């Protein structure tokens, strides 16, 4: 009986030490992605989402995550994470959608709405789609830049079909 008591005390002391060394709690690690996908983690290490394994990921200035299905595919996805001081991201998305006269859609546990636009750059015209995605205190602003000359290419169409899966998989870890 006494050995069990000492073992329990030892475990409690070790756990307490580990929590002190590790900060406020045990270290968080990303959740595994489903088959055919890989995990993307924002540079601040608090939010993750899944992307198809064949896609390429990079980071631009201001911690913008950039995803493309292939080199010169005709589509570029960009993701910017904004951490709000309180868990008001869903309320923020709802307020923004109302101001823009559109509706919020829930994709999994994430509130989102979409806006469309266009831009021109040198010899290219682009269709732009923007999503605001809110959950807890996290706001992700996502964009898809599609070369209008390639908008019907299968790689572009398939990439856009994967967007709801990416949005649904976004969460804190």
162 three-class SS? helix
The C-alpha atoms of residue 79 and residue 145 are separated, in whole angstroms, by 12
Mean pLDDT estimate for the chain: 86
pLDDT tens-digit profile of 71-92?
889 999 999 999 999 999 999 9
More confident residue, 173 or 166: 166
Which tokens belong to 116? 């469309």
Contact between 93 and 133 (Cβ < 8 Å): yes
For residue range 129-170, list pLDDT tens digits in order. Answer: 999 999 999 999 999 999 999 999 999 999 999 999 999 999
For strand 124-135 and strand 110-121, is the pairing parallel, antiparallel, or unpaired?
antiparallel
Delineate the domains of the chain, giving CATH numbers in brackets: 1-29 (no CATH), 31-172 (3.40.1000.10)
């Amino acid at each position: 009986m006494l050995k069990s008591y000492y073992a329990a005390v030892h475990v409690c002391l070790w756990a307490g030490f580990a929590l002190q060394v590790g900060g406020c709690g045990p270290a968080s690690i990303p959740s595994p992605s489903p088959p055919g996908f890989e995990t993307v983690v924002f540079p601040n290490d608090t939010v993750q989402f899944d992307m198809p394994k064949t896609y390429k990921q990079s980071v631009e200035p201001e911690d913008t995550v950039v995803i493309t299905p292939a080199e010169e595919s005709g589509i570029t996805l960009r993701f910017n994470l904004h951490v709000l001081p309180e868990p008001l991201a869903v309320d923020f998305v709802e307020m923004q959608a109302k101001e823009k006269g559109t509706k919020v859609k829930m994709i999994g546990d994430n509130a989102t709405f979409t806006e469309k636009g266009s831009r021109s750059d040198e010899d290219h015209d682009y269709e732009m789609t923007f999503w605001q995605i809110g959950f807890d205190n996290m706001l992700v602003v996502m964009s898809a830049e599609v070369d209008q000359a390639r908008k019907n290419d299968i790689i572009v169409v398939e990439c856009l079909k994967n967007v709801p899966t990416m949005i649904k998989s976004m969460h804190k870890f």
